[in-house]
Amino acid sequence: MTAVLVKAFRDLRRRRLQAVVVFVTTLLAVGTGTIALTLIAQTSDPYQTAFEAQKGAHLVVDFDGKVDPGALAGTPAAIGASAFAGPYRATDMQFQSGGHKYTVTTIARDNPGGDVGQLRITGGRWPSSSNEIALTRSFADLNHVSLGDRLRVLSVPQASILTVVGVVVDIDELRADVGGQQHAWVIESAFASLTTKGASFYQMDYRFSSDPTSAQLQAHLDTLRASVPPDSITGSISYIFARTVFHISTEILTGVLVAFSVFALAATAAIVANLVTGIVISAYREIGIMKAVGFTPTQVIGVFVLQILVPTATASVIGIPAAMVLSQPLLASNSQALGLAYQPTYSPLLGLLALAGALLIVTIAALLPAFRAGRLKPAIVIANAAAPRGHSGRWLRRLASQARLPRSVVLGLGDATARPVRALLTLLAVVLGVATVVVALGETRTFNEIYSYEGHIGKVDVVVAKSPALADADTTKLINSQPETGRVVAQAFANITAHGIADPVNTLTFRGDSASLGYLLTSGRWFSGPGEVVANGGFLQDAHLNVGDSFTGSVNGAALKLRIVGVVYDFTSGPGGHILMLDWTTLAAGVPDLFPSSYMVTLKSGSNVDAYVRRLAAAQPDLLDVQAASTGNTAFLSVIAVVLLGIAGLIALIAIAGIFNTVLLNTRERLRDTATLKTLGMSPRQVIAMVATSGGFLALLGGLIAVPAGVALYRVLFDQLSALGGNTTPPSFYDVFATWELIAIPIVGVAVAIAAATIPGRWAARTNVVEVLHAE
Amino acid sequence: MSELVRLTEVTKVYQGGITGALNGVSVAVEKGEFAAIMGPSGSGKSTMLNLVAGLDRPSSGTVTVGGTDLGKLGEAGLARFRRDHIGFVFQFFYLLPNLTALENILIPAQLKGNVVPGRARELLEQLAIKEVADRYPALLSGGQQQRVAIARALINNPTLLLADEPTGALDTHTGDQVMELLGELHRHGQTILLVTHDAKLATRHAARVISVMDGKIVDDARLESPDRTASEVIRVRGEEVSR
Ligand SMILES: Nc1ncnc2c1ncn2[C@@H]1O[C@H](COP(=O)(O)OP(=O)(O)OP(=O)(O)O)[C@@H](O)[C@H]1O
Ligand SMILES: [Mg+2]
């Protein structure tokens, strides 16, 4: 055993550079894997913890304000809820703070505790007088509203000021950064002055003794619907939906992360296998001598595997804790969104798992070539001094010769493929690296694209949100009086109840040239007249309808005959959500008091958007919120981008290490050939060109495979993302890559590979011919 | 006859070497000469040849080939010089194992950017290795390998052919054939510098025998008629030479 140890450590010292390559690649791979594992292990935790601690509601249902609150008291028993809260009175309230206008759902509630849906106060206190308000922490953080800030209420004619006295965590609503109107709370006595007649509704929280399935929730909703007058339920949120939305960013991330860490480990395994094969080849004679002096095959294998395990273990011991520390900010962002004081969590078990995984994969990768060393017959090995070499580069050399490429390039191509297994393993690492970069780039772009798409960027310049206190006619007149105003599409929200769909369906009603908003249709066409409607894929699935089908919806008790003419690509309704879009004329028949809540304005070309926004805002400072069209808050997108691109960068580095490693092994093995070529008159520059070609070629080949593979993988991931909203991806959405980029990515890869290969290339060019040949 | 190679007071001390491998060697070789460098193992023969080929630089002194002071050339310059003027044949052939015989032969021309299939065919014919042109070195006999190596050395029509123990790894019969070949080339005007420690081989073909011992030239014999004086040389220098 000592002999094995002594030999292994001596060899390690001699092969320092190779040890460094193993160390760096495993460090990167183990780091990626650990970050992924940490995120996967912890995503479900903070939400569940908070949900239990705060007795979260399994179901939150909004009832129309005309419903008798006394009747609502019987609903929990009707659906078998073990606890309930409410009915709370609630209303949409618009207010202004720090120059911006926001809309929140303001709820009348005297007490943050209770049996269901407790609110955790993370800052300040619960409101105690009628000019005080509490906000969600999620909202306050996102919009930089602090305790003590004074909010000017705009949605009611009589202006009033509310002071923010408390910041709370509400587990039953969607997080602000992913979208979703946030709740705010005032005491009951303050409520009446904050709402207008007919604008308030009731909210009920239900909790069950065990977590219901979505089918059960669906059934409960049906029961509720039957127990109140028709169309009384105006909205509902299930804990499943809230949880999904809460996890959406981490969920998208973890899927990609798992794929990426598998990539990183596979690339590392390829490099390690290459290295050990290389060591076996270059130590061919030595292996014979080792056996001749009495090493058993197992001991020979031991020597080689140990040489790899020492740097791997070192890299793991450094990499795993480092990655755990690095993933803390990501974990923290989740907990902080819930207002949980974030305790950095380090799971030793997870670390051990990552360590065991890394050692196992690397050992397997090292064992295969080491077995070959163990099996070699001493006599043959000593006699042959160097391992037999392959001739597989021949066809390639022929081809290159015929193309009249310079000799050094032709020789380099031959070197790249002389050992096919090595070339294939290197290709594997390169393909993984480049494909990951393509996927990461694609996904990042897609997220931004989706946000631009939903924000009508490029189609709409200014979005004007109107307070209910201002008349539609006045607003339209004001907007149209601006000389730059080109096109105006007004938008109203409504809820349509459809058969087979439990919740009322969010419905966007457009007045004006809505086709110009640029909504993408995955099939069918945009609506063009009364009665025509487009829906998202999720709606069609759940309502069992197809394009061309008609159905009867109801709004405010009035029946509407609707015909589906197209399927719209949409994310705003969230995972599993439903949305309908139709023309004003369709709805106006059933809803006489329909009024737009916002106006999407496209300016005449060449207009100054900022000046327009300022002028319009100044005309109605209280009742209009005028903003240049934007993608909204996309902070969490940049977190995703940083993580994806960062990890893709790491895997790309691993691929570069793979190329460097292969070129290094090749030049070492071919030192004598290089010396011979130098005696034949090969110049230093030609030597470097030869070596660089061998590295560049593998990168080029890898890039040519990886770019289409990466694009394909990106599409698969994108399709899954689309499927969250029940959508199929419209083909035009795939085109996030410019052609030049798809060409540039492999070119950059080749350039980097050539740069990496130039290092061993320089060493080869500098070899002293006399010394090399003398040593033979 | 014009002078092709001149070594002036050349010394060479290898790193870690206690004594010099060459200690003040001065010698000149004329164009068209066939000179043999003889001496016991470790006497500095290969060192001398390597310096003439520009593969290494002397510790002091100058090496001039065809009027060019090799000390004035950089690495790239030396590579170009070798390509254009030197053909080198080694004891262990040093063929590139992953190239066929023909591809090996063509390498020096291709490094120059020349395409000379005609010249290669001519050499294959002349050296009687046409039938092995497409084989890999591992499948060739020692003699065939050395012929390929010689063809490779000649592909660029070098001014000077250097051969370091070209028969050292061959059996006597094959070795004789290779030496015949060199003699033939010499008769066609090729300047040859041959390193050997076999006196018989040296004197049979070379017209001049330079004897080296401990890094110094101890004798420089020009033989008007090689065949006649061969035995004489062996007798006179027998002791040192056959060691
Ligand atoms: N690259 C080198 N590094 C260190 N010492 C060297 C090197 N090459 C040669 N020597 C030493 O220089 C001396 C001369 O060597 P050289 O190879 O020139 O001898 P040689 O006459 O060619 O011998 P042989 O007949 O064995 O080939 C020897 O002592 C040798 O050990
Ligand atoms: Mg020698």
Q: Strands A505-511 and A485-498: what pairing?
A: antiparallel
- CA nearest A391 in B: which residue? B98
Instruction: State whether B98 and A768 contact (CB < 8 Å).
Output: no
* Token representation of residue A732: 């035009």
Label residue A377 by pLDDT band (50, 70, 90).
low
CB-based burial of residue A732 (10 Å sphere; 0-12 exposed, 13-18 middle, 19+ buried)? exposed
pLDDT, tens only, A160-211 = 888 889 888 887 777 666 656 788 888 888 888 878 777 788 988 888 888 8
Instruction: State whether B55 and A678 contact (CB < 8 Å).
Output: yes
CA–centroid distance, residue B109 to ligand 1 (Å):
30
pLDDT, tens only, A477-513 = 988 988 888 899 998 888 788 877 777 788 889 998 8
Confidence at residue A318, expressed as pLDDT on a 0 to 100 scale = 93
Ligand 1 atom 18: the closest Cα is on which residue?
A: B44
Q: Which of B10, B11, B43, B193 to mutate to test the pocket of ligand 1 (most atoms within 8 A of CB)?
A: B43
Confidence at residue A446, expressed as pLDDT on a 0 to 100 scale = 81
- CA nearest A670 in B: which residue? B96
Q: Name the architecture of domain B3-91+157-240.
A: 3-Layer(aba) Sandwich (3.40)
Which helix (H) or strand (E) is A100 found in, with range? Answer: strand A100-108
Minimal C-alpha gap between B163 and chain A (Å):
12
Q: CA–CA separation, A514 vs A584, rounded Å?
A: 10
Asked if A300 contacts A58 with a C-beta cutoff of 8 angstroms, the reply is no
Mean pLDDT of the B163-192 span = 90
pLDDT exceeds 90 at position B28:
yes
- Counting from 1 in the atom list of ligand 1, the atom nearest the Cα of A775 is 1
pLDDT exceeds 60 at position A707:
yes
Confidence at residue B15, expressed as pLDDT on a 0 to 100 scale = 85
Ligand 1 atom 12: the closest Cα is on which residue?
A: B21
DSSP 8-state code for residue B70: G
Residues A156, A160, A164, A169, Cα dihedral to 10°: -20
CA–centroid distance, residue A387 to ligand 1 (Å):
27
What is the residue-averaged pLDDT of chain A?
82
Instruction: State whether A681 and B86 contact (CB < 8 Å).
Output: yes
Contact of A769 with chain B, judged by CB distance below 8 Å, is answered with yes
* pLDDT above 70 coverage of chain A, percent: 90
Ligand 1 atom 11: the closest Cα is on which residue?
A: B21
Minimal C-alpha gap between A283 and chain B (Å):
18
Amino acid at A301: I
- The number of beta carbons lying within 10 Å of the beta carbon of residue B114 is 14
Minimal C-alpha gap between A381 and chain B (Å):
16
pLDDT exceeds 50 at position B194:
yes
**Residue with the two structure tokens 């030496």:** B179
Give ipTM to 2 decimals: 0.85
| Ligand 1 residue neighbourhood (C-beta within 6 Å) | A 770-771, 774; B 14, 17, 21, 39, 41-47, 197
For A680, which of B46, B92, B111 is closest by C-beta distance?
B111
Q: Give DSSP secondary structure letters for A587-655.
A: HHTT-TT---SEEEEEEPTT--HHHHHHHHHHHSTTTEEEEE------HHHHHHHHHHHHHHHHHHHHH
What is the residue-averaged pLDDT of chain B?
87
Q: In chain A, which residues have their Cβ closer than 8 Å to the Cβ of B154?
A: none
Q: In chain A, which residues have their Cβ closer than 8 Å to the Cβ of B113?
A: 406-407
Mean pLDDT of the A107-111 span = 87
Where residue A435 falls (left for φ over 0; alpha for ψ -120 to 50; beta otherwise) is: alpha
Per the model's pLDDT, the better-predicted residue between A390 and B17 turns out to be B17
Minimal C-alpha gap between A658 and chain B (Å):
23
Ligand 1 atom 13: the closest Cα is on which residue?
A: B21
Q: CA–CA separation, A707 vs A249, rounded Å?
A: 26
A427: nearest Cα among A738, A140, A213, A694: A694
Confidence at residue B238, expressed as pLDDT on a 0 to 100 scale = 42
Instruction: State whether B79 and A673 contact (CB < 8 Å).
Output: no
pLDDT, tens only, A352-371 = 888 898 888 888 888 887 77
Angstrom CA distances, A568 to A174, A382, A565, A571, stand at 23, 72, 10, 10
pLDDT exceeds 50 at position B242:
no
Per the model's pLDDT, the better-predicted residue between B89 and A493 turns out to be B89
Amino acid at A321: P
Per the model's pLDDT, the better-predicted residue between A474 and A232 turns out to be A474
- Most A CBs within 10 A among B94, B95, B104, B105, hence the mutation to make, goes to B94
CA-based Rg of chain B, rounded to a whole angstrom? Answer: 18
Asked if A413 contacts A395 with a C-beta cutoff of 8 angstroms, the reply is no
Contact of B136 with chain A, judged by CB distance below 8 Å, is answered with yes
CA–centroid distance, residue B232 to ligand 2 (Å):
25
Per the model's pLDDT, the better-predicted residue between A45 and A515 turns out to be A515
Contact of A768 with chain B, judged by CB distance below 8 Å, is answered with yes
* pLDDT above 90 coverage of chain B, percent: 51
A482: nearest Cα among A617, A354, A616: A616
Ligand at shortest distance from the CA of B45: 1
CA–centroid distance, residue B21 to ligand 1 (Å):
7
Confidence at residue A449, expressed as pLDDT on a 0 to 100 scale = 79
CA–centroid distance, residue A477 to ligand 2 (Å):
102
Q: CA–CA separation, A3 vs A295, rounded Å?
A: 8
Confidence at residue A263, expressed as pLDDT on a 0 to 100 scale = 83
Asked if A615 contacts A485 with a C-beta cutoff of 8 angstroms, the reply is no
Q: CA–CA separation, A58 vs A206, rounded Å?
A: 6
CB-based burial of residue A3 (10 Å sphere; 0-12 exposed, 13-18 middle, 19+ buried)? middle
pLDDT, tens only, A251-265 = 666 677 777 778 888
* Token representation of residue A138: 């999620």
Q: Per mean pLDDT, which range of A231-245, B57-71, B224-238 is the poorest?
A: B224-238
pLDDT exceeds 90 at position B92:
no
pLDDT, tens only, A400-453 = 777 778 888 888 888 888 888 888 989 999 999 999 889 888 888 887 777 778
Label residue B240 by pLDDT band (50, 70, 90).
very low
Contact of A281 with chain B, judged by CB distance below 8 Å, is answered with no
Confidence at residue A243, expressed as pLDDT on a 0 to 100 scale = 77
Q: CA–CA separation, B83 vs B94, rounded Å?
A: 16
For A680, which of B56, B103, B108 is closest by C-beta distance?
B108
Angle at alpha carbon of residue B177, lines to B171 and B180, rounded to 5°: 135
- Counting from 1 in the atom list of ligand 1, the atom nearest the Cα of B43 is 21
pLDDT exceeds 90 at position A554:
no
DSSP-assigned beta bridge partners for residue B7: B27, B63
Under 8 Å CB-to-CB from A510, ≥6 apart: which residues? A489, A490, A491, A517, A581, A582, A583, A584
Per the model's pLDDT, the better-predicted residue between A721 and A517 turns out to be A517
Per the model's pLDDT, the better-predicted residue between B45 and A572 turns out to be B45
Ligand at shortest distance from the CA of B197: 1
Ligand 1 atom 3: the closest Cα is on which residue?
A: B14
Ligand at shortest distance from the CA of B215: 1
Q: In chain A, which residues have their Cβ closer than 8 Å to the Cβ of B88?
A: 679-680
pLDDT, tens only, B195-237 = 988 888 888 888 899 999 999 999 998 876 545 444 455 444 4
Confidence at residue B33, expressed as pLDDT on a 0 to 100 scale = 94
Instruction: State whether B96 and A677 contact (CB < 8 Å).
Output: yes
Q: CA–CA separation, A761 vs A694, rounded Å?
A: 10
**End-to-end Cα, chain B, rounded Å:** 34
Q: In chain A, which residues have their Cβ closer than 8 Å to the Cβ of B51?
A: none
* Token representation of residue B88: 């080198």
For B98, which of A418, A682, A774 is closest by C-beta distance?
A418
Amino acid at A653: L
Q: CA–CA separation, A181 vs A184, rounded Å?
A: 10
Q: In chain B, which residues have their Cβ closer than 8 Å to the Cβ of A682?
A: 79, 83, 111
Confidence at residue A770, expressed as pLDDT on a 0 to 100 scale = 85
pLDDT exceeds 80 at position A346:
no
| Per-range mean pLDDT, top range of A387-391, A462-466, A515-519, B164-168 | B164-168
- The number of beta carbons lying within 10 Å of the beta carbon of residue A638 is 12
Per the model's pLDDT, the better-predicted residue between A221 and B40 turns out to be B40
For A685, which of B76, B82, B112 is closest by C-beta distance?
B76
- Counting from 1 in the atom list of ligand 1, the atom nearest the Cα of B12 is 12
Q: CA–CA separation, A641 vs B139, rounded Å?
A: 57
Minimal C-alpha gap between A352 and chain B (Å):
46
pLDDT, tens only, A298-345 = 888 888 888 888 999 999 999 998 888 888 877 776 666 555 556 666
Confidence at residue A755, expressed as pLDDT on a 0 to 100 scale = 94
Domains of chain B by residue range = 3-91+157-240
Q: CA–CA separation, B210 vs B186, rounded Å?
A: 17
- CA nearest B79 in A: which residue? A681
What global pTM score does this model have? 0.77
- The number of beta carbons lying within 10 Å of the beta carbon of residue A196 is 12
SS3 assignment, position A684:
helix
Give B71-138 as a 3 state SS string. Answer: HHCCHHHHHHHHHHHEEEECCCCCCCCCCCHHHHHHHHHHHHCCCCHHHHHHHHHHCCCHHHCCCCHH
Label residue A381 by pLDDT band (50, 70, 90).
low
For A679, which of B76, B84, B88 is closest by C-beta distance?
B88
* Token representation of residue A127: 């409101």
**Residue with the two structure tokens 């006295």:** A165
Asked if A76 contacts A225 with a C-beta cutoff of 8 angstroms, the reply is no
Instruction: State whether B111 and A408 contact (CB < 8 Å).
Output: yes
Contact of B135 with chain A, judged by CB distance below 8 Å, is answered with no
Instruction: State whether B50 and A776 contact (CB < 8 Å).
Output: no
Q: Per mean pLDDT, which range of A84-93, A761-770, B230-239 is the poorest?
A: B230-239
